[in-house]
Amino acid sequence: MIEQVLQTLPQVLIDGLALGAVYAIVALGYTMVYGILELINFAHGEIFMTGAFVGTAILLTFSGLGWMASMPAILALLLVLIVTSVATGLLGMGIERVAYRPLRNAPKLITLITAIGISFLLQDIVRFITELKNGNYILTGPSLFSKQIGVKASAISSVFNDASVKSSFFIVLILAVIMMVALDFFVNKTKWGMAMRAVAQDRETAALMTVNVNKVIALTFFIGSALGGATGVLFAVQYGTIDPYIGFILGLKAFTAAVLGGIGNIRGAMFGGIMIGLLEMFAAANLPVVSHGILGAEYKDVFAFAILIIVLIFKPEGLFGKVSVEKV
Amino acid sequence: MDVKNLLSTIQANKRLQAIIVGLYIVVTFASLYLAQKSVIAFLLLLASLLLLYFTSFSNRVKWLVGGLVLVVLLPLAASQGEAYQSYMEVATLVGIYIAMALGLNIVVGLAGLLDLGFVAFFALGSYTYGIFATSQANNFMPFGHYPLSGESFWVFIFIGCLVAALFGVLLGIPVLRVKGDYLAIVTLGFGEIIRIIFNNLDKPVNITNGAMGLASVKPPELFGIQFMYPSQFYYIVLIILIAVIFAVRRLEYSKIGRAWKAVRENEIAAQAMGIHLVRTKLMAFAVGASFSGMMGVVFAAKQTFVDPTSFTLVESITILVMVILGGMGSVPGVILGAAIVTILNLQVLTELTNWLNQLSLSGVIHVPDALSPAKMQRFIFGIILILFALYRPQGLLPAKNPVFDEKDLKDTDSNHPMNTGVHKGGTQHVHLDS
C-alpha cells in the first residue's frame, strides 16, 4: 500500500502544486476582504469563474482573428491576464459599491445573503452569455502550452514512478508566485498597503488618521477580484474546460484555505491554498488505495469540507491567525 | 387618495369584506371550473387565501373559510379536466415546500442561525423511506423482508421526522461552536458532504444505490387504498401542513420560541438572562429539521423515486429564498414566500417557456434557447435575494410581535385581583418585545 502511495507521489505533488497555487490566489481575495470588512465575500468564487470566461473569450477571439500566430503565446497570455484582471477588478469594485456598501452597518447575515444572491446572479449571467454565443455553456479554450514534459522521478529513487507535466504548469506556478510576491510587497511596503492594514485593524481610527476608508475598501475589492480573475484565466489555461458553476465549489475550497491559514492573514492564505491543493490531490489519488476501494475518489470534496469544518470547530483562528476575543 | 379611502372603508366594514372575499372565491372557482386550462384561474383561486389573510375576521372564521377553499373548492374546481393531476401536483409540492420553509424559518428566522445545508434533512427523510420501501434494504438489513408494505408509510412519517431531528442535533453539536457567517459555511459544507455521501454510498455495501437513485418506491396504502396520484397526496400533505403550522404557531409564542428570539437578538444578553444557549439552538435545529424530514418521506412516496440530484445546494438556497422573500420569522410571510417561489418555479416559468417556444415556432419573435425562463431560476433567485436584502429585509409580510397594552393589562389586573400573577407575566412581554 505504502509502495503504491509513494509511486504516485511525484505526480500528486505536481498536480497538487498547480491546484494549490490556484486555491492560494483565490484564497487571497477571501482573506483580504474578510480582514477588512469581516465579510465572507461569497461572490469571490464567481469572480474567479467570470475571469476564466472573460479570459477564454478573449483568447478565442484572438485565435479567431488569427493574432495568436503573429505573437508569442506567452505575450498573448500576459495581455489577456492584464485585460481580464482589470475587468474583474472593476466588477468586484462594482459589486462592493452596489451590494455591500449599503449594508455595511446591517447585520452580517443580511450581507451574506446578498453575497449569495450576487453569486447566483453572476453564474446565470455568464451561463446566459456563453450559451447565447456558443450554444452550450461548457466552454473549451484554445490549448496553449500543452506540451507534455516528462519528469524522471525514478532517477531520484526507484520507489517513485515517472510523472508528466504540462508546460502550462510552469507558467501557472511562476505567474502565481509573481502575483503573490507582488501582493505581499504591496500590502507590506507601500503607502496604500499600509492604509489597507490600518483599515483592517480599526476602521474608525484609520478614518480619523485621514485614511479614505471607502477608497481603501474599494481598492481591496479591486485587487482581490483582479487576482481572482487572473487566476481564473490561469485555471482555464491549465485545465482547458470551464463551466459557469466551477466557481462555487472552488471558492468554497479556497475559503477553506483562507480559514486554514488564519483568515485575514495574507501569507497564511497562500500557505493554506498550497496545503489544500496538495491534500486534495493526495486524497483523490490515494483514498481508493488506502481504503481498499471502499472510498472512491469522489470523496475528495468531502475531505476538503471536513478540513474546513474541523478547522472552524477546533481552531477557528487557523494556523497563523490571531485569536480574536469577543467584546461585549 | 380615493384608493386609500376605499381601502379604509373596506377595512372598517366586515360585511363588505365578506362580500368581496365571497365574490372573489366564487368568481375564481367558477372560472377554474369552466376554463380548465387556465393556470391563471388556478393561481387566482389560491390567492383567495391571501385575500382572506388580510380580512379582519376572527382567526376561526379565517381557518374555516381557508379550509373550505383548500379541502373542497380547489380540488373540486380543478378536477373537471385533464390538467387536474398537474394542478394537484403543484399544490402538493407547494405544501411540501411550505412545511420545509417553515422549518428553515425556525432556524434562520427565529433562532437567527443561517443554515445553508438545510436540504440535507429533506434528503435524510426521503432516503429513510426510500431505502425501506424498496428492496434496497435487503442489501444490508440482517432481518426482515423488504420492501415494507405501503401501510408502513404512516409510521415512516414519524420515523423520518425523528431521524431528521436526530441528525439535526448530531450536526448541531459540533456546528454550534462556530457563530454567524462561519456557521453558514459549515452548514453548507455539511449539506454537501451528506449529498456526496448519498451519491457514493453504493459501496462497500449498497445502501443508497449511488447516483442511480432508488426507483419504484412503494406508494402509501391505507385500508387497502393505494395513494398513487397527486390528488391523493394533496390531502396527506394538507393534513401534515396544518399540523406543522399549528405547531409552529404554538412554538413561536412558547417559552422556547421566546428564547429563540432572544438568542437571535443578542446571544450574550440571552445567556445572561439564563437561557441555555446550546440547548436552545439544538432545539431550533431539531425542530426545523424534523419538519423537513417528514416532508422528505412524503416527497419520496410521491415521486416514487429518490436520487441525490434532488438535494443540491440550489435547493437549500431556494428554501432560503422562500424565507427571505416572505419575511424572516413571520409564519404567514414564509407561507406566502414558499407558495410564490414554488409556483414561480413549477408553473409560471414553465408556462412562460412554453409560450415563448410557441411564439418562436410560429415565427412571431425569436427567443434564443439560452433565455428560456425555465433556465433563469438562479438569476431570479439572485435578484430576489439582493433586492430584498437591500430594500426590504423584513420581507413581504413582516413578522409581528404581539403588542400588549400596558394600561389594558393593569385594568384587568384591578378587575380580577385573583389573577395578578398571570398578568404580571403579560407585562413582562412588553419589556421583552419593546
- ∠ CA B111-B117-B121, rounded to 5°: 90
Judge whether A325 is closer than 8 Å to chain B, CB to CB: no
Q: In the prediction, which pLDDT does B419 show?
A: 44
Inter-chain contact A112–B381, Cβ cutoff 8 Å? Answer: no
Judge whether A48 is closer than 8 Å to chain B, CB to CB: no
Is residue A277 pLDDT above 70, yes or no?
A: yes
Residues of chain A in contact with residue B189, where contact means CB-CB under 8 angstroms, are: 252, 305-306, 308-309
Query: Could you tell me where the beta strands, DSSP code E, fall in chain A?
Result: 139-140, 148-151, 163-166, 241-242
Q: In the prediction, which pLDDT does B102 show?
A: 92
- ∠ CA B326-B330-B333, rounded to 5°: 30
Out of A60-64, A213-217, B4-8, B231-235, the most confident range is A213-217
Positions in chain B short of pLDDT 50: 417-434
User: What mean pLDDT is predicted for residues A112-117?
Assistant: 88
Q: Three-state secondary structure along chain B? A: CHHHHHHHHHHHCHHHHHHHHHHHHHHHHHHHHHCCCCHHHHHHHHHHHHHHHHCCCCHHHHHHHHHHHHHHHHHHHHCCCCCHHHHHHHHHHHHHHHHHHHHHHHHHHHCCCCCCCCHHHHHHHHHHHHHHCCHHHHHCCCCCCCCCCHHHHHHHHHHHHHHHHHHHHHHHHHHCCCCHHHHHHHHHHHHHHHHHHHHHCCCCCCCCCHHHCEECCCCCEECCEECCCHHHHHHHHHHHHHHHHHHHHHHHCCHHHHHHHHHHHCHHHHHHCCCCHHHHHHHHHHHHHHHHHHHHHHHHHHHCEECHHHHCHHHHHHHHHHHHHHCCCCHHHHHHHHHHHHHHHHHHHHHHHHHHHHHHHHCCCCCCHHHCHHHCHHHHHHHHHHHHHHHCCCCCCCCCCCCCCHHHHHHHHHHCHHHHHHHHHHHHHHHHHC
Q: In the prediction, which pLDDT does B37 show?
A: 67
The number of C-beta contacts closer than 8 angstroms across A and B is 136
* Per-residue DSSP letter, A186: H
- Residue B214: strand pairing partners: B306
User: What mean pLDDT is predicted for residues A153-158?
Assistant: 70
Domain of residue A45, residue span: 23-244
Q: In the prediction, which pLDDT does B422 show?
A: 41
Q: In the prediction, which pLDDT does B430 show?
A: 34
* % of residues, chain B, pLDDT over 90: 4
Residues 158-177 of B with CB under 8 A from A: 174-175, 177
- The number of residues making up chain B comes to 434
Residues of chain A in contact with residue B368, where contact means CB-CB under 8 angstroms, are: 131-132
Residues of chain A in contact with residue B199, where contact means CB-CB under 8 angstroms, are: 298
User: What mean pLDDT is predicted for residues A284-307?
Assistant: 77
Nearest-by-Cβ selection for B389 from A117, A119, A306: A117
User: Is A167 inside a domain boundary?
Assistant: yes
CA of B110 to nearest chain A CA: how many angstroms apart? 13
CA atoms within 13 A on the CB side of A222: 10
The grid coordinates listed for A256 are 477553506
- CA distance readout (Å), A36 to A104, A155, A171, A182: 12, 48, 31, 19
Judge whether A138 is closer than 8 Å to chain B, CB to CB: no
Task: Identify the three-state secondary structure at position A133.
Answer: helix
Q: Residues with Cβ < 8 Å from B10, sequence gap 6 or more?
A: B16, B17, B20
Lowest mean pLDDT among A15-24, A32-41, A241-250, B224-233: B224-233
Is residue A143 pLDDT above 90, yes or no?
A: no
End-to-end CA distance of chain A: 53
Q: Residues with Cβ < 8 Å from A122, sequence gap 6 or more?
A: A43, A46, A47, A49, A50, A247, B382
Q: In the prediction, which pLDDT does B420 show?
A: 41
Residues of chain A in contact with residue B193, where contact means CB-CB under 8 angstroms, are: 302, 305-306
Judge whether B197 is closer than 8 Å to chain A, CB to CB: yes
Interior/surface letters A169-184, b for 16+ CB within 10 angstroms, e for the rest? bebbbebbeebbeebe
Q: What are phi and psi of B304, to 5 degrees?
A: 55, 20
Q: In the prediction, which pLDDT does B414 show?
A: 56
Task: Identify the three-state secondary structure at position A43.
Answer: coil
**Which position has the higher pLDDT, A46 or A320?**
A46
Q: In the prediction, which pLDDT does A132 show?
A: 82
**Which position has the higher pLDDT, A236 or B20?**
A236
Inter-chain contact B320–A120, Cβ cutoff 8 Å? Answer: no
Nearest-by-Cβ selection for B184 from A103, A112, A114: A112
User: What mean pLDDT is predicted for residues A287-292?
Assistant: 74
Inter-chain contact A121–B180, Cβ cutoff 8 Å? Answer: no
**Which position has the higher pLDDT, B429 or A253?**
A253
Q: Residues with Cβ < 8 Å from B49, sequence gap 6 or more?
A: B66, B69, B70
pLDDT band at A47 (very low <50, low <70, confident <90, very high): very high
Q: In the prediction, which pLDDT does B431 show?
A: 35
State which amino acid sits at residue B60: R
d(CA B6, CA A265): 61
Number of domains chain A is built from: 1
CA of A302 to nearest chain B CA: how many angstroms apart? 5
Residue with cell 507582488: A182
* CA nearest to B266 within chain A: A328
d(CA B271, CA B256): 14
Inter-chain contact B320–A312, Cβ cutoff 8 Å? Answer: no
Q: B84-391: which CATH architecture?
A: Orthogonal Bundle (1.10)
The grid coordinates listed for A137 are 455553456
User: Is A253 inside a domain boundary?
Assistant: no
- Pick the residue of A246, A248, A309, A310 with the most B CBs within 10 A to test the interface with B by mutation: A309
Task: Identify the three-state secondary structure at position A294.
Answer: coil
User: What mean pLDDT is predicted for residues A237-259?
Assistant: 87
CA of B63 to nearest chain A CA: how many angstroms apart? 33
Lowest mean pLDDT among A124-128, A220-224, A300-304, B192-196: A300-304
CA dihedral A249, A255, A257, A261 (to 10 degrees): -170
Q: In the prediction, which pLDDT does A83 show?
A: 92
Q: In the prediction, which pLDDT does A87 show?
A: 94
State which amino acid sits at residue B45: L
Q: Start-end ranges of CATH 1.10.3470 in chain B?
A: 84-391
Q: In the prediction, which pLDDT does A91 show?
A: 93
User: Is A251 inside a domain boundary?
Assistant: no
* CA nearest to B199 within chain A: A298
* % of residues, chain A, pLDDT over 70: 95
